Structures are given as structure tokens and as C-alpha cells.
Chains A and B, each alone.
Chain A
Amino acid sequence: MHPAFSILFFTTLAGAAQGLLVALALAQITGVATDGNLLVRAVGLGVALLLAGLAASFLHLGHKMRAWRAVLMWRTSWMSREVIVMPAYIALAALWWLVLYTGSDSALARALPWAVVVGALLLWYCTAMIYACLRFIQEWAHWSTVANFTLIGLASGGALACALAASAGEGALLAALAPWTTLATLLAALIRLYSLRRNAALRPVSTLQSATGIQARKLVQKSMGMSAGAFNTREFFHGASQLALRNVRWAFVLGLFVLPLALQLCALTSAATWPWAWAALLQAPALIAERWVFFAQAKHPQNLYYQVVG
């Protein structure tokens, strides 16, 4: 598949924002002592990231003014479900920010962190199922897609929360979040490496023989029926070399998992707080690279029909 940057930014920004909000909500639920001012700023950042993600998702659409129609088919379409859950989640996060800003201690203020956690899980599930429900894209049609979206969101958002806590000198919050963030990063790394292994070992179900019904053992395309490409050649091929794909894969494994884990372990075993900021900064481009590989690795069966210009 061709990785569209609108979707790369949308899923990574929203995923990190959800992870950040979940980390802050869990800290509040478990009663970790935090400076209210930092919480307001951090939740505000989460809402801003979600809004940026939503804006990026609009860039993917050919008709942005008709986007409201996308809520209609929630009975059958995971995209429709996501389009409903995403703005609802932004509204929820914004309401939590408002409650924190006013410093209220009502029942609503105590219930909102729980709702933020549940909403984040729901949104990750909807987003991932958009890809995981396409049964013939074998790289995506697997539980690891949902696990990856959730765990990478938790890891990147947790790292962001730790970086914010470290820079604000919030020792208690950092101490509470740090081990869980490292655990989430480790789990995300394990599941993502497993999915990379699985992708490498996948055997395509569809072949040129099943695609054309021509039962010759040797079958080659001589012409795809056009000379200069079409939507079919632009949308479903990433156009990068195998070497580039391999390099981006290594880059994201290093930048998203290996180096941040090393930095986090360094911070956990010493009193240093600087590694948290570096871990979060390293992860930002690596998140985009990971999602790029997620799309580039997906082999669409329609590509069987578009092998040779002629």
C-alpha cells in the first residue's frame, strides 16, 4: 500500500495523545500527587494533539465538506465508527481539561479519568479495526494490528507524559509513570517484532493463477492495459526500493524501541531526568517511520494485476 502522510500523522498523533491522556488519567485515578498546573497543561497538550490528528485525517479526504456523512454507516463500517468515536473522545478530553482548569472536585471530575481511559481503548480499537477487518490484506488482518496500535500509543504517550513530568520536576508523577511506560514500550516492541516476523513469513493466499483463473504453472503478465499508471498503481504501491523499506524498518525499531528503552532504563537506574525528553524526541520521527512500514509492508492482492506496463 502507498503510505499516505495524512493517515500516518493522524494515527500517530492521535495514538500518542490517547496514550498521554491514559497515563495522566491513571495517575489521577491512583491518586498520585501532582501539581494541578502541570496536569492542565498536559491534558491541554493531549487535546491539541488530538485536534491536530483530526485535521490531518481531513487532509486524506477528497471532499472535506462532506465529512459529516461518514457517521452514517456505523452499523457496518469501522471507519464510520471511528468517525463517531474520535470527535466524542476529543469532547471528553476537552471536558476533562475544563474540569481540571476550574479545579472542580465533583463526581464528574472523579468519573472523567475513567471515561478517558475507556474512550482511548475504544478509539484504538476502532482505528485498528479499519485495517484489521480487511481480510485479504493478510499483513493487517490479524489481532497484532489492534495490539500494535494500542501498545505503541500507550508507549509513545507514556514517554511523552514522563518527559513532561521530568521537565516540570514532578518527581512523584515521574516515579509512578516511568516503570509502566518502560513496560508498555517493551511490550510494544515484542508485539511489533512478532508482527514483522509474521509478515516476513506470510505466504500470499492469492496468486496470479487464482486472480486470472488461468491454470498454467508458468503465467506472466505482458501488459497491465495502460502505459503510464492509474489509481491502481499509485494507491497500492509504495514505490520505494526493498533497501529503503529495510532501512526504514531498522530505523523505526531503533528509534521507537531500542534507543528509548536504553534511555529509559538509564533513567530508571539513575536519578537522571534528561533521558526522558530524549526518549520522547527520538520516538516522534520513529512513530511516523513505523506507520510508514505498516502501510508499505501490506501487499494488496490487486497488485497481482499490475505487474508489467507492457
Chain B
Amino acid sequence: MIQWLRDLMQSPLAEGTGGAAQDISPPVRVRARQGETLAKQLALVIDLNVCVGCQACVTSCKQWNTSGSAGPLADLNAYGANPTGTFFNRVQTYEAGEFPGTDTIHFPKSCLHCEDAPCVPVCPTGASYKRAEDGIVLVDYDKCIGCKYCAWACPYGARELDEERQVMTKCTLCVDRVYDPLLPEADRQPACVQACPTNARLFGDIKDPESVVSKAIAERGGYQLMPEWNTQPANHYLPRRITAQAKPAEPQ
């Protein structure tokens, strides 16, 4: 049977009219409503002090997601002069300050899983949605029509259209990994977090004040990107702290 018809028949709406409902627990709502405050919000916290720009998170993300439920992720012209492809995570490099006192800052960037995600309400098909249970923003690849409007509505450039599949793709926070009971407990975190050799990436629930991410944000002054647009990104960054020893001597 066609999948959407099956979904419709299994929806709580259909069960309600169909007489005897076998499940007495309230139906689980998958999609968060616009502007809804969620009890749980999974997120990454990225420590700019220790990121060394090794790109291990980029490659491990690509490896996991191209072979997992979000993939395959296209690689066009992979062995040519100008290879291009779909990635959920990029590490950029910035230089701050005036020479000789410059700071080289490696800056990993992926979907920030905004609490008020502007990409979700603009989607005409409902393929883009925010999960009510943990705040992860996802794309249903079977419903996406590839109109690219959600990418226009994301100020961070977090979404990439897969050129081969012609659907919008983005970071899933490794949703197919973090809940997998078949994996050992320690492995139930995003691939990028596991791959980071310097522990620059922390993963957890920012709504739980006792979580490692909440503590890091509180203790280290974690901040959000582009706060001016009120998207309330769930991902936070820990600012670079320059220790007294590392500080360059004042020019005489």
C-alpha cells in the first residue's frame, strides 16, 4: 500500500473514528508546534578553545550519515579538480585581531537546531519539522519536494540540497544513533562528538540544568550565533579564553 495512506490509517485521527482503540496511552505527537517550549532540547556545545581544525568531525559525520538513514550524501566530481558534495558539518577558520597578536579560531558549523526554527514553518509540505520529544529539527526526505525555500529561511546556511537525490538535507544530531539500544551506552552520541580528539564537542539536553552542556554554557559563558534574529539556536559556542601565559607581550 502507498505509505502516506498507511500513515493516515494508522494516525490517531483514524483510530478515533474506527471504534475500539487498542492503545489506551495518549498518542505520541511527533511534531512540535510553532513557538512551543519543549521540555527537552538536545544540542551540541562547541568549545572554541580546544578545536584544532582537524576536520575529524566533518569526515566522521559524512561517513555515518552517508551510510545511515540520512544518506546517501552525494559526492559530485569526487575525483575531479572541483569536488563538491553534501555535508552536514563544516569546520571553518577565522583570524581575529591585529598582527602579531592574532588568534586563529577554528569554527565548526552545523545545524543549530533552533528552538524557534525559521526553516520549519515556511516548508510548504511539512517535510521539515521539529521533534516535540527532543527538539531535533529533521527533514522527511520522502515528503521533500526540493523547493529550497527552507534553506532560504535559514540565516545560518545550515541546510544543503543533495544534488543527486534533490531533497534538502541537514544535520540530524545523529538521531539514528543517539537512541539506538543496540549500541553500547557510550556510543550513543553523535558521530562528530565521538570523533573529536580534543573533546571540543559536547552533546546533551540544554533544558536539563544538570547536563554537561548546560553546565558548560553556564560556567563558560556559552553563546548563540546571530542572536539578533531571535531564532534561539540550541547549539552553543564556548568563547575563546586567552590565558595570561598565551597573551602576547604588549608592544613597547
Out of A135, A225, A228, which one reaches B90, CB within 8 Å?
A225
A119 to B145 CA separation, bound complex (whole angstroms): 26
Q: Would A306 and B122 count as touching, CB distance under 8 A? A: no
Stretch of A145-153, A208-216, A254-262 at the chain-chain interface = A208-216
Distance in Å: Cβ of A105 to nearest Cβ of chain B? 40
Residue count of chain A within 8 Å CB distance of chain B: 59
Main secondary structure of the interface of A (DSSP, over half): loop
Chain B nearest Cβ from A162, distance in angstroms? 35
Using A213-B237, A221-B93 as known contacts, say yes or no to A236 and B225 having CB atoms under 8 A apart. Answer: no
Cα of A70 to Cα of B123 in the assembled complex, Å: 8
Digitize B99-128: 1 where CB-to-A-CB distance is under 8 Å, 0 elsewhere.
000011101010000000010111111110
Which residues, 42 to 59 on B, are CB-close (under 8 Å) to A? 48, 55, 58
- What's the count of A-B pairs with C-beta under 8 Å? 183
Residues of A close to B123: CB separation below 8 A: 73, 77
Q: In the complex, what distance in Å separates the CA atom of A1 from the CA atom of B82?
A: 22
In the bound complex, what is the Cα–Cα distance between A60 and B166 (angstroms)?
11
Query: Quick check: B95 and A305 within 8 Å, CB to CB?
Result: no
- The docked-state distance in angstroms from the alpha carbon of A50 to that of B165 is 29
**Segment 199-250 of A: residues with Cβ below 8 Å from B:** 205-206, 208, 210-216, 218-232, 235-236
A216 x B96 contact (CB < 8 A): yes
Instruction: Choose among A66, A71, A231 the residue that contacts B161 (Cβ–Cβ < 8 A).
Output: A231
Whether the pair A70, B147 counts as a contact (CB closer than 8 A) is yes
A211 touches B124 (CB 8 A): no
Q: A205: nearest residue on chain B (CB-CB)? A: B228
Note all chain A residues with C-beta closer than 8 A to B109.
225, 305
Candidates A67, A130, A216; contact of B103 at CB < 8 Å = A216
In the assembled complex, which residues on chain B have CB atoms less than 8 Å from the CB atom of A83? 124
Q: Does B227 lie at the interface of the complex (its beta carbon under 8 Å from any beta carbon of A)? A: yes
B166 and A63: CB pair below 8 A?
Answer: yes
Residues of B within 8 A of A229 (CB): 82, 84
A302 to B231 Cα, complex, angstroms: 14
Q: Verify A135–B126 contact, CB threshold 8 A.
A: no
Q: Could you mark each residue 133-164 of chain B with 1 if its beta carbon is under 8 Å from any beta carbon of chain A, else 0?
A: 00000000001111111011111110111010
Contact A214 B143 (CB under 8 A): no
Contact of A218 among B97, B144, B148, B225 (CB under 8 A): B97
Q: How far is the CA of A303 from the CA of B153 in the complex (A)?
A: 13
Which B residues form the contact surface with A (CB < 8 A)? 34, 48, 55, 58, 77, 81-87, 90-98, 103-105, 107, 109, 118, 120-127, 143-149, 151-157, 159-161, 163, 165-167, 223-229, 237, 239-240
15 new A-B contacts at CB < 8 Å, known A221-B93, A223-B92: A61-B145, A62-B145, A63-B167, A73-B121, A76-B34, A77-B149, A206-B228, A213-B237, A214-B105, A214-B107, A222-B95, A225-B92, A231-B163, A300-B152, A303-B157
Please, could you name 22 A-B residue pairs with CB atoms under 8 Å apart, sorted by A? Answer: A1-B152, A61-B146, A73-B125, A77-B122, A77-B149, A136-B229, A205-B228, A208-B94, A213-B224, A213-B239, A214-B240, A219-B95, A223-B93, A225-B55, A225-B90, A226-B87, A228-B77, A228-B84, A230-B84, A230-B160, A235-B151, A300-B157
Q: Which 6 A-B pairs have the closest CB atoms?
A: A62-B146, A62-B166, A302-B157, A216-B96, A225-B90, A228-B82
